Amino acid sequence: MSKNEILTGITIEKLIFGGKWLATASDGKKIIITGGCIPWSVVDLRVLKAKKSHYEAQELRVVKKSPLEVPLPEGFQMYGGAKWLTIGYQDQLKIKSEQVSEAFHHLSNYTVKTIFHPIIASPEIYGYRNKVEFSWGKYISAKEEIHDEFRFGFHAQGQFDRIIDCTYCALADKETNDIFHMVDQFSRASDFSTYDPKTGIGFWRHFVVRKATSSNETMLIFSVNTTYTHEVKLFFTEMVQKLTEKFADISSIYLLENTGKADIVTGNPVLLFGKPAITSTLLGLSFEIQPKSFFQVNTLGAEKLYTEAISFIKNKWGILLDLYAGTGTIGILLSKYFEKVYSVELIESASRDGEKNAFKNDVKNIDFVCGKAEVFAKDFLEKGGKADTIVVDPPRDGMHPSTIPALLSFGAREIIYVSCNPATLARDLEVLVGKTRDEKTEKLPKYSITDVTPVDMFPHTHHIETVVRLALA
Ligand SMILES: C[S@@+](CC[C@H](N)C(=O)[O-])C[C@H]1O[C@@H](n2cnc3c(N)ncnc32)[C@H](O)[C@@H]1O
């Protein structure tokens, strides 16, 4: 088999890392498949790479539907951000649970006494996102004979320069979809063009809707490739008026002067309407959301995740390290139980938002440290700092290898590991439990995995969170 050859009649076996799927070719080699497959469907695949050990392939067509496939709910649209809309929700939970259990396969000698709790479902499965980012752009493809200069919706899968129109985003609520449609009409009727990332020319770039569901406040963010000129001002004055007349929950509208090359929502913010921030509550505490603030996108799902993490901590006293803290949500929620909390986060704006959130909630026993967790842990240890409980919530890559020896050296009673990637979670756990150790870590304390709970915060996507409790062995 070589590149571009077609593999026919292949059965999709299971989900593996990063939203990819696994199957077996007729020559016995494994196939790693990119894209939105459904387990047990029979498909034809195009080979993208033929490696010695395996093939990498892309789904071309479905030959036989999977028994797990359900009809697309009426009015909904399939797109890259919600590839699992045609898999029944109970089956999605099963697939995710199995993926987490498999990640622990290599740790089976260390998980004999571990309690694997059932997966926690998202309280809402549609319209659960409190933040939705739409993009403007073009769809130009000589191969498909399409030349459309105005598209507004989402990126075509894996294509940074092609946008597909959104008709209804299943993960956004109805109001967000209605607002999107009004902005769609306005922008199409305008004299401004969509941005072209190849040339850097064009006006419309991104549109973000953020909602604080608990307070019914909605923030709109327009990212456009210009400064705030007179012409732009006239256009936006009318659109802002029409939007705010129709949607009473809109409490804040920003324009971002986004003239940078990178395809990200950034730039100088100009407040066009209302208040600078919206306020969301999470487990009874208030969190302020500015245009660039990080906040968990599934509010009710995040409450489930944090509640599970908090319930895993058996000894709530002493000093808590909240590493990879984002805006300090976990540390702030846990501060009432601990004498002192250190909240460590790399991104300065997130760390500063954390400080503001602590102040807003009258939390005084928390220090916000902006920097790398690996550097903080080493320095803090060298200065004689102690930690009784440690919570880590790293990004998809897991913990930096130098963080783990420092963590182990604290000899904390418990470590709570919140992970968004089962593969890197399993890798880091191998070191924490003592399965893989080197000269540096050989003599350091070992941990037992006592509890594992998968939490689904992202229905209709392959993403899964896992909360793990480790206790000093
Ligand atoms: C999964 S988020 C955790 C968010 C937070 N715990 C929450 O629940 O809102 C991971 C965070 O780790 C931060 N981060 C990434 N690398 C880091 C590092 N080396 N040291 C400290 N923080 C880091 C990211 O900026 C991000 O905010």
- In this structure, what CATH number is given to the domain that contains residue 98? 3.40.50.150
pLDDT category of residue 292 using cuts at 50, 70 and 90: confident
Dist CA 166 CA 151 (whole Å): 9
- Please report whether residue 69 resides in a domain: no
Same domain, yes or no, for 360 and 251? no
- Domain C-terminal end among 247, 267, 287: 287
> What sign does the dihedral 408-304-81-201 (CA atoms) show?
negative
pLDDT on residue 81: 84
- Upper half-sphere CA count for residue 120 (Cβ side, 13 Å): 20
Q: What is the pLDDT of residues 9-18, one digit of tens each?
A: 999 998 887 7
Report the DSSP beta bridge partners of residue 87. 69
18 vs 457, more confident: 457
**pLDDT averaged over every residue in the chain:** 94
pLDDT category of residue 2 using cuts at 50, 70 and 90: confident
Q: What is the pLDDT of residues 56-92, one digit of tens each?
A: 999 889 999 999 999 998 888 887 788 899 999 999 9
Pairing of strands 340-345, 366-370: parallel
If one residue of 330, 344, 345 were mutated to test the ligand 1 pocket, choosing by the most ligand atoms within 8 A of its CB, it would be 345
Residue 358 C-alpha to ligand 1 middle, in angstroms?
17
One-letter amino acid of 164? I
Same domain, yes or no, for 306 and 282? no
Same domain, yes or no, for 50 and 147? no
Same domain, yes or no, for 317 and 434? yes
Q: Tell me how many domains the chain contains.
A: 3
Helical spans, DSSP H, in 335-447: 348-360, 373-382, 403-410, 422-433
Residue bearing the CA closest to ligand 1, atom 11: 324
- Residue 157, pLDDT > 80, answer no
Same domain, yes or no, for 140 and 162? yes
For the chain, the residue count is: 473
- Residue 35, pLDDT > 80, answer no
Q: Is 26 helix (H, G, I), strand (E, B) or coil?
A: coil
Q: What is the pLDDT of residues 222-254, one digit of tens each?
A: 999 998 889 999 999 999 999 999 999 999 999
- Please report whether residue 77 resides in a domain: no
pLDDT category of residue 385 using cuts at 50, 70 and 90: very high
Same domain, yes or no, for 111 and 198? no
- Upper half-sphere CA count for residue 31 (Cβ side, 13 Å): 30
Taking residues 145-157, report their average pLDDT: 93
CB 100 within 8 A of CB 452: yes
pLDDT on residue 369: 97
Residue 372 C-alpha to ligand 1 middle, in angstroms?
9
Domain range spanning residue 231? 131-287
Taking residues 387-404, report their average pLDDT: 95
- Please report whether residue 202 resides in a domain: yes
- Please report whether residue 17 resides in a domain: yes
Same domain, yes or no, for 312 and 179? no
- Domain C-terminal end among 256, 287, 318: 287
Taking residues 168-184, report their average pLDDT: 97
Dist CA 189 CA 185 (whole Å): 6
Report the DSSP beta bridge partners of residue 22. 14, 32
Predicted TM-score (pTM) above 0.75: yes
Q: Which string of DSSP letters, residue by residue, matches 200-248?
A: TB-SEEEEEEEEEGGGTEEEEEEEESS---HHHHHHHHHHHHHHHHH-T
Residue bearing the CA closest to ligand 1, atom 6: 325
Known catalytic residues? 420
Same domain, yes or no, for 424 and 362? yes
Taking residues 209-229, report their average pLDDT: 93
- In this structure, what CATH number is given to the domain that contains residue 18? 2.40.50.140
pLDDT category of residue 111 using cuts at 50, 70 and 90: very high
- Please report whether residue 399 resides in a domain: yes
Residue 442 C-alpha to ligand 1 middle, in angstroms?
27
If one residue of 346, 392, 407, 467 were mutated to test the ligand 1 pocket, choosing by the most ligand atoms within 8 A of its CB, it would be 346
| Backbone φ/ψ region at 155: left (φ over 0), alpha (ψ -120 to 50), beta | beta
Same domain, yes or no, for 141 and 282? yes
Percent helix, strand, coil in the chain, to 5, is 25, 35, 40
Q: What is the pLDDT of residues 309-348, one digit of tens each?
A: 999 999 899 999 999 999 999 999 999 999 999 999 999 9
Dist CA 396 CA 391 (whole Å): 16
Residue bearing the CA closest to ligand 1, atom 4: 326
Taking residues 132-159, report their average pLDDT: 92
Same domain, yes or no, for 361 and 213? no
Task: Name, in order, each residue with C-beta under 8 angstroms of 29's C-beta and a sequence gap of 6 or more.
Answer: 1, 53, 54, 55
Residue bearing the CA closest to ligand 1, atom 1: 395
- Residue 55, pLDDT > 80, answer yes
CB 96 within 8 A of CB 79: no
- Please report whether residue 76 resides in a domain: no
| Closest ligand 1 atom to 302 CA | 8
Token pair, residue 251, equals 């409490």
- Please report whether residue 463 resides in a domain: yes
Task: Name, in order, each residue with C-beta under 8 angstroms of 65's C-beta and a sequence gap of 6 or more.
Answer: 38, 41
pLDDT on residue 438: 86
- The CA-CA-CA angle for residues 315, 316, 322, to 5°, reads 110
pLDDT on residue 308: 98
Kindly list the protein residues whose Cβ atom lies closer than 6 A to any atom of ligand 1: 294, 296, 324-327, 329-330, 344-347, 350, 372-374, 393-395, 400, 420
Dist CA 392 CA 406 (whole Å): 13
Residue 142 C-alpha to ligand 1 middle, in angstroms?
42
- Please report whether residue 72 resides in a domain: no
pLDDT category of residue 3 using cuts at 50, 70 and 90: confident
Residue 322 C-alpha to ligand 1 middle, in angstroms?
10
Same domain, yes or no, for 308 and 457? yes
| Closest ligand 1 atom to 394 CA | 10
Residue 427 C-alpha to ligand 1 middle, in angstroms?
18
pLDDT on residue 435: 92
pLDDT on residue 191: 93
Taking residues 373-386, report their average pLDDT: 95
Residue with tokens 């006293």: 317
- In this structure, what CATH number is given to the domain that contains residue 143? 2.40.50.1070
Same domain, yes or no, for 373 and 442? yes
